[in-house]
Amino acid sequence: MKRVFLLIATNFAILAVLSLTMQLLGIDAALENETGLNLPGLLVFAALFGFGGAFISLFISKWMAKRSMGVHVIEVPANSTERWLVDTVKRQAERAGIGMPEVGIYEAPDVNAFATGWNRNDALVAVSTGLLNNMTQEEAEAVLGHEVSHVANGDMVTLTLIQGVLNTFVIFLSRVIGFFVDRVLLKNERGQGPGFFIATLVAQLVLGVLASMVVAWFSRQREFRADAGGADLAGRQKMIAALERLKGNHEQSALPAQMAAFGISGGGGMARFFMSHPPLDERIAALRNNR
């Protein structure tokens, strides 16, 4: 959940900065001629900025996670718990065929963990203190296997490529809409007017939200695969027990407001379209049915 939330949030911020840069440097104006938009040129620039923003988000994802979550990376284990965490991740990483990730702990009451990093051999796996305090060692082992599987499956790169494609269309379509509003609806024939900038901004915001829904859908599909990977690395019953523990923990206490839209245990209504994880009942059922 945190992995996807950080990727989307960082991408939004970078995309906004790149969009403003395009306007300040006059790139938007340069792509417009007397008769209309230079669509091929706009598409090229949209792809450069769209994929550029997504890959910048990917390359700084580990740094952002450490800073924003206050992750303490275990360099030399200070106690038996830290030693167990490092040894477990090392064993699972070797079985998964990836380089040893950095292992960290962050202070948070919620039962959670995440993995991030720009490639399979330069990743970070971090767990919350809430997870360490509320899960058995077998359940925590399954959660670690789930996160190591995310790394082994290349999920961050996959979501970044998807985000890059969506960014390209967001940048491209928002400017086409801005041009249409400015030139056709507002009848402005003297270059880009306020209508273009306002319409482009609004369109980019709306299209960006829709793009986030698509990224969240792909993320939900990858969660089933990571659950299966965690079951392979730690044992199916341990993975099921870990998910049931998460479900019980959620039923006892609500998630923090800033994470509610990406609730790990699922939800209903429109919130489901923004969930990065499928409902826990569906994930448990998939494991029991050997999905």
3-class secondary structure, 134: helix
Cα→Cα distances 134→110, 131, 226, 246, Å:
9, 5, 22, 9
Go through 119-128 and write b for each residue having 16 or more CB atoms within 10 A of its CB, e for each that does not: ebeebbbbbb
Catalytic option among 147, 223, 244, 282: 147
Residue found by looking up tokens 């491209």 in the block: 172
Amino acid at 232: D
3-class secondary structure, 106: strand
The token pair that represents 232 in the structure block: 């392979």
Angle in degrees, CA 7, 11, 14, rounded to 5: 140
Q: Determine whether 147 is an active site residue.
A: yes
Q: Helix, strand, coil: what percent of the chain each, to 5?
A: 70, 5, 20
Residue found by looking up tokens 């040893």 in the block: 100
Cβ atoms of 223 and 262 closer than 8 Å: no
Strand pairing class (102-106; 113-117): unpaired
Active site residues: 147
